[in-house]
């Protein structure tokens, strides 16, 4: 009984800490997808890998697929998809414009 109570308090502390963090800090791509940097390096794209630690997640994908985890890293603009390049690595497709990551597709659910 005493042990169960202690565990509940720990869980509450954990969530309190999480919500404080999300209020004060932005989420970077490196935080959301810790494996993406290695995948880009293995794909020979260190120029993209080095953006991940400072690249902020700007908003979720606007599609209607349930459980979609894709997200924007720049303000959404339609013309991206004409001028952009797509770099598939692992479970992700990294959409770039002029060498900058603008969107990350997360294919796994």
- Rounded to a whole number of angstroms, the minimum distance from the CB of residue 83 to Zn ion is 20
Distance CA 106, CA 32 (A): 11
Given the rule CB under 5 A, which of 1-9, 14-22, 53-61, 72-80 is the region that contacts Zn ion?
53-61
Given the rule CB under 5 A, which of 5-13, 63-71, 74-82, 85-93 is the region that contacts Zn ion?
63-71
- Which of 41, 68 has the CB closer to Zn ion? 68
Note whether 63 binds Zn ion by CB under 5 A.
yes
Q: Which of 91, 86, 89 is nearest to 102 (CA)?
A: 86
Cα Rg of the chain, angstroms: 17
Tell me if 62 sits within 8 A of 16, measured CB to CB: no
- Token pair, residue 92, equals 């992700």
Which residues lie below 8 Å from residue 97, measured CB to CB, with a gap of 6+?
74, 80, 83, 84, 85
Q: Which of 61, 93, 97, 106 binds Zn ion (CB under 5 A)?
A: 61
- Rounded to a whole number of angstroms, the minimum distance from the CB of residue 88 to Zn ion is 16
Q: Which of 70, 80, 84, 90 binds Zn ion (CB under 5 A)?
A: 70
Residues of the shown chain interacting with Zn ion in the complex, contacts defined by CB under 5 A: 61, 63, 68, 70
């Amino acid at each position: 009984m005493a042990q169960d109570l202690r565990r509940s308090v720990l869980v509450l502390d954990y969530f309190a800490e999480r919500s404080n963090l999300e209020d004060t800090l932005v989420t970077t791509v490196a935080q959301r997808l810790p494996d993406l940097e290695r995948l880009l390096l293995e794909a020979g794209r260190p120029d993209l890998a080095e953006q991940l630690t400072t690249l902020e997640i700007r908003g979720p994908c606007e599609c209607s697929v349930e459980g979609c985890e894709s997200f924007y890293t720049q303000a959404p603009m339609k013309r991206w998809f004409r001028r952009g390049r797509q770099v598939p690595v692992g479970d992700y497709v990294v959409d770039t414009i002029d060498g900058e990551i603008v969107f990350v597709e997360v294919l796994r659910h």
